[in-house]
Structure 1
Amino acid sequence: MLKACIFDLDGTLLDRDGSLPAFLERQHERYFDALGSIPLEVYQQRFIELDQRGYVWKDVVYQQLLEQFQIEKIDADTLLHDYVEHFHLDCRAFPGVHETLQQLQDKGILLGMITNGRTQFQRKNFQAIGIEKYFQVILISEQEGIAKPAAEIFEKALRLLNVKGHETIFVGDHPANDVQAARAIGMKGIWKRDDYWPEPAESDGIIVQIPELLAHIDKIEKSIRLSNEK
């Protein structure tokens, strides 16, 4: 029987691809005197390219941006501070996230979250989209001193939820850091499709939208019941 479902945050529950351009538009407006020589669309596109799906921290991104466009009226630290303080204001959840989390909770499934990133920054982001209330366990890599794909952070979540790997599903958009890492310690790994990443070699299901997870859970639970009956 499945007892728990653990989620990644960015690209899985939080629509970062939708949130980031909205934030960048506001930032461009706030600092138009310094950034106005860069067309908004160019500013957004280049930031997103340098950001590499969030895997490059923003001090590096902003420094590269300013150097590339020869901007001298503002420094990278100012833009980084603005990002840290204001990004959450433009955060949005993927469609159906709240409803799906509520239905999982109603089924008696324990919920956890494991996200890589800076503690206060990530906390403000998931609080902004109103999902904190659904989770019994939330682990953030900076706070824990360890990040996905290390097995230890997955194992800690299992211990805190008091469940075993084979009783748990992990849902994430990164084929290696999420799906493969979870499966390596015995969890079921569901990939939330992201065309930026190659499809994982192995998974226990692929979804495009979060509400599709419910059907996969029903299918996995049925398979477990049939296996136990043999």
Structure 2
Amino acid sequence: MTTPLAACFDLDGTLFDHAGAAQVGAAAFLERQGAESTEAALASWFAAEEEQFERWRLGEVSFPEQRRQRLRTVLPPLGCVVAADDAGVDAMFADYLRSYRAAWRTFPDVADLLRDLRAQGYRVGLLTNGSEEQQLDKLAQTGIDQLFDVVCVSERIGFQKPHAGAFAALAAEVGVRPADCAFFGDDPVRDVAGARSAGMRGVLIDRATQDAATVRDLVFSTMASRGDCSAATS
């Protein structure tokens, strides 16, 4: 196997600090609803986010509906009143989104990492599940939108990670064979296993345990190495 020609990334949890922004946004939102942003309340928020986003990913509900179900699940047990109609719930969720969006940040090392990869001649791509409007907005608002050669959002390409079709579409758009692409992400199944199922080298990034220097070393050592794309990498 040749060394990779393209370095491709997941967005949320890998380059973009979704958990940090969501925690800030959810805490502010819950307090505006009259609920305490306790550890238990925030855990409930994130559990509902994971459950309902997965339902959307599997095609069981629409993207707006997964948002509504999150509020209908989390708020009543906290003593908060949820609007009776969809438009009212959407307005409530928009209130959360304003706080979430105000807290958007990439991890501190991201811009330099992407610039340095491109400076060394690598193609740089992004593959993310989610709404194209929101995911592109994240890139623009955090200032990294011009640092990718290719951006693939599941809503546009028609495949959700970990489906191999999502990674095949990414490779096609970035202009390399899957075998010549390394994919870096924080989810062992959606990112790493999904990439490997398409013939890419899948590499796990764990922001909770790896500092910026470790992430950088992992990315550049992967790009410089030869090896079996199905081999375990963590």
TM-score by length of 1: 0.80
- Unaligned runs of at least 5 residues, structure 1: 196-206, 226-230
The Cα RMSD (Å) is 2.5
Task: Say if 1:66 and 1:72, in contact at 8 Å, map to a contact too.
Answer: yes
Written as runs of structure 1 = structure 2, the 5 A alignment for 1:1-230 is 1-28=3-30, 32=32, 35-36=33-34, 38-41=35-38, 43-52=41-50, 55=53, 57-72=66-81, 74=83, 75-84=88-97, 86-193=99-206, 208-209=210-211, 211-220=213-222, 222-224=224-226
Q: Post-superposition shift, 1:47?
A: 1.1
Q: Post-superposition shift, 1:60?
A: 1.3
Q: After superposition, give the CA deviation of every residue in 1:9-33 in whole Å (9 maximum; x if it has no partner).
A: 111111112111111233245xx2x
Q: Post-superposition shift, 1:223?
A: 3.9
Q: CA, structure 1 residues 220+105, in 2 after alignment: closer, same or farther (shift >3 Å)?
A: same
Bigger relative contact order, structure 1 or 2, given CA contacts below 8 A and separation 6+? Answer: 2
Q: CA, structure 1 residues 223+117, in 2 after alignment: closer, same or farther (shift >3 Å)?
A: closer
Task: Say if 1:28 and 1:40, in contact at 8 Å, map to a contact too.
Answer: yes
CA distance in 1, matches of 2:128, 2:136: 10
Q: Post-superposition shift, 1:218?
A: 4.4
Task: Say if 1:62 and 1:80, in contact at 8 Å, map to a contact too.
Answer: yes
Task: Say if 1:170 and 1:190, in contact at 8 Å, map to a contact too.
Answer: yes
- DSSP 3-state at the match of 2:53: coil
CA distance in 2, matches of 1:137, 1:53: 29
The count of corresponding residues between Structure 1 and Structure 2 is 209
CA distance in 2, matches of 1:218, 1:113: 17
- Unaligned runs of at least 5 residues, structure 2: 55-65, 228-234
Q: After superposition, give the CA deviation of every residue in 1:112-155 in whole Å (9 maximum; x if it has no partner).
A: 11100111111212222211111011111112222111111211
Q: CA, structure 1 residues 140+86, in 2 after alignment: closer, same or farther (shift >3 Å)?
A: farther
